[in-house]
């Protein structure tokens, strides 16, 4: 009897991504889809989210301990069995008149009619999501339409554009920059939050493109009638209580602890940048830790109480002044209240927040929470994708909710020191792509002070300093990223991702700020300075990865 041998597919390597995520590297898309299917069917202990990409799968964990345990479990998985296509079939009517159709016809040698026949004549499978909510990377049954990205990306690709790049096809769900080859357009709504499943085509679904002469846009269902703003959450016939926004300052947003578990749809977690300060403000007024509050930067917020309210401000310490309404021609009285202390703002009184003495972001919590509609389980504003409440505007009424954790308010609390004029140190874990840099580049990252530029926002902090040089050429396939990732674009100046970051990125990440120091990073103001240092017990740079075993004889 002759022994047979078969190829056993396994995870090649597992790399740490900061302290609460790991990146599994695989041999190809087959293994990526197999691992994704296994993790979704039987999640690992402590698994929060799974994000597949071209050659990797990133797994987010609920704790550093859970992330450390995942490495051995992932390396032991057998990925040999082909992933089963369990998704439904989505038919997308497409007009094939894209600006790059002629270019694709020339690159493939198929001619325009041949491209249309090849694209519409096969079934595509959504392998993974990324780039934007509803943007699905679809793989076909063959590779006859493999084409490179455009040499010069467009600054704005119209929503509904049907495109090709590499071995993938996709539909742009909204107008955005992009470098894919455009071959057609569709009126199908790829992302609609009014649907129970916002993404028209989710990972695992099959897609058939059907040629038509004209794209017909399907109107979304009519929005239900809403009560007037003055009724708020209290319902029709009752006056809403809350805060009237007199001035939103530079930028004031509604934030909670974010929306987890939607990375596969292209949706980042978002949420408060300084989570500890949000929790503290909520604790002081008796709310649960993830109640929605106002995140505001650099002072300037002014609000008027509609009904008696209980408030607290935590985070960057700013002067807090309360002015009572005038009475019988007499001017109103003023008083000040301390930060990190619960206080009453009576009906008609106005709270004004000055510029922070240190730090950058302050959090205003209202007892009962800010009562705005949740989107995908969270009330946070995601500035990258446009999901969640709009930024606060003058004249807006922000209703107060009625859900609290306790019947009493908390005692005043001490706050940590916030960044000032000095240098803020942030601990990092090298990798997952520190092997794209030599030891000198990592030393340069940690030996100099980086200045936060005015181009920084909730998506990421752009840093100015001595550029870092890569030690290898080429292009990194897009892979999952996390808040705290330090991405190095070709010019060598780091971008430190924050909560609203894109969920995938194609530039190598030299290191990731530890979860414990992310709140500190959120408080560094524009023009402030940052210095990175390698966290104790972090994986040493360029450490040998686990051996790869791809074949086992049976």
**96-211 topology per CATH:** Cyclophilin (2.40.100)
Which residue intervals of the chain bear CATH 2.40.100.10? 96-211, 423-534
Q: Stretch 79-99: mean pLDDT, rounded?
A: 84
Identify the CATH number of the domain defined by range 7-85: 3.30.1360.40
pLDDT at residue 332 in the model: 74
pLDDT at residue 83 in the model: 61
The model's confidence at residue 437, banded by pLDDT at 50, 70 and 90, is very high
Q: Which residues contact 240 (CB under 8 A, 6 or more apart)?
A: 229, 230, 231, 232, 233, 234, 306, 397, 399
Instruction: Decide if pLDDT at 384 tops 90.
Output: no
DSSP alpha helices (H): ranges in 217-372?
Answer: 275-285
Which residue intervals of the chain bear CATH 3.30.1360.40? 7-85
Residue 255 CA to residue 275 CA, distance in Å, equals 10
Q: Which residues contact 390 (CB under 8 A, 6 or more apart)?
A: 381
Residues composing the chain: 554
Nearest to 28 by CA among 53, 63, 61: 53
Domain 423-534 in CATH: superfamily? Cyclophilin-like (2.40.100.10)
CB 164 within 8 A of CB 181: yes
Segment 314-366, tens digit of pLDDT = 999 999 999 998 876 677 799 999 999 999 999 999 999 999 999 999 999 99
Segment 194-248, tens digit of pLDDT = 898 899 999 889 999 999 998 666 555 444 333 333 334 444 444 589 999 999 9
Q: Strand, helix or coil at 182?
A: strand
């Amino acid at each position: 009897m002759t022994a047979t041998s078969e190829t056993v597919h396994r995870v090649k390597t597992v790399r740490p991504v900061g302290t609460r995520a790991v990146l599994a590297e695989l041999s190809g898309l087959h293994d990526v889809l197999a691992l994704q299917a296994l993790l979704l069917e039987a999640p690992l202990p402590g698994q929060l989210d799974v994000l597949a990409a071209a050659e990797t799968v990133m797994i987010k964990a609920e704790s550093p301990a859970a992330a450390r345990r995942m490495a051995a479990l992932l390396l032991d998985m057998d990925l040999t069995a082909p992933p089963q296509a369990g998704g439904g079939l989505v038919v997308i009517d497409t007009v094939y008149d894209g600006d790059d159709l002629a270019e694709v016809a020339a690159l493939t040698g198929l001619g325009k009619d041949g491209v249309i026949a090849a694209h519409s004549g096969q079934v595509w499978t959504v392998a993974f999501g990324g780039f934007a909510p509803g943007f699905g990377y679809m793989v076909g049954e063959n590779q006859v339409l493999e084409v490179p990205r455009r040499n010069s990306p467009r600054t704005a690709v119209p929503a509904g554009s049907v495109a090709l790049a590499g071995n993938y096809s996709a539909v742009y769900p909204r107008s955005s920059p992009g470098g894919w080859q455009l071959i057609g357009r569709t009126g199908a709504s790829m992302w609609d939050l009014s649907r129970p499943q916002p993404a028209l085509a989710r990972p695992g679904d099959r897609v058939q493109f059907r040629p038509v002469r004209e794209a017909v846009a399907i109107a979304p269902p009519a929005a239900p009638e809403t009560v007037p703003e003055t009724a708020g959450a209290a319902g029709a016939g009752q006056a809403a209580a809350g805060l009237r926004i007199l001035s939103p300052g530079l930028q004031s947003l509604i934030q909670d602890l974010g929306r987890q578990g939607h990375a596969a749809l292209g949706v980042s977690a978002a949420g408060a940048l300084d989570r500890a300060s949000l929790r503290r403000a909520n604790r002081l007024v008796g709310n649960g830790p993830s109640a929605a509050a106002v995140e505001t930067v650099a002072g300037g917020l002014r609000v008027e109480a509609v009904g008696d309210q209980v408030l607290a401000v935590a985070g960057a310490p700013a002067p807090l002044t309360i002015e009572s309404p005038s009475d019988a021609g007499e001017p109103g009285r003023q008083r000040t209240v301390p930060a990190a202390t619960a206080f009453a703002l009576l009906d008609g009184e106005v709270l004004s927040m000055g510029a922070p003495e240190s730090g950058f972001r302050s959090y205003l919590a209202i007892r009962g929470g800010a009562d705005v509609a949740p989107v995908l389980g969270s009330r946070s504003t995601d500035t990258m994708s446009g999901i969640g409440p709009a930024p606060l505007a003058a004249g807006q009424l922000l209703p107060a909710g009625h859900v609290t954790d306790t019947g009493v308010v908390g005692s005043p609390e001490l706050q940590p020191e916030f960044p000032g004029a000095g240098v803020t140190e942030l601990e990092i874990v090298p990798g997952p792509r520190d092997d794209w840099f030599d030891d000198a580049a990592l030393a340069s990252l940690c030996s100099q002070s980086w200045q936060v530029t005015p181009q920084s926002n909730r998506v990421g902090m752009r840093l100015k300093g001595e550029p870092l040089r890569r030690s290898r050429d080429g292009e990194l396939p897009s892979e999952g990223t996390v808040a705290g990732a330090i991405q190095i674009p070709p010019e060598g100046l780091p971008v430190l991702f924050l909560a609203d970051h894109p969920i995938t990125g194609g530039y190598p990440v030299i290191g990731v700020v530890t979860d414990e120091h992310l709140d500190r990073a959120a408080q560094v103001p524009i023009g402030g300075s940052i210095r990175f240092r390698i966290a104790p017990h972090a994986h040493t740079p360029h450490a040998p990865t686990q051996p790869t075993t791809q074949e086992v004889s049976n």
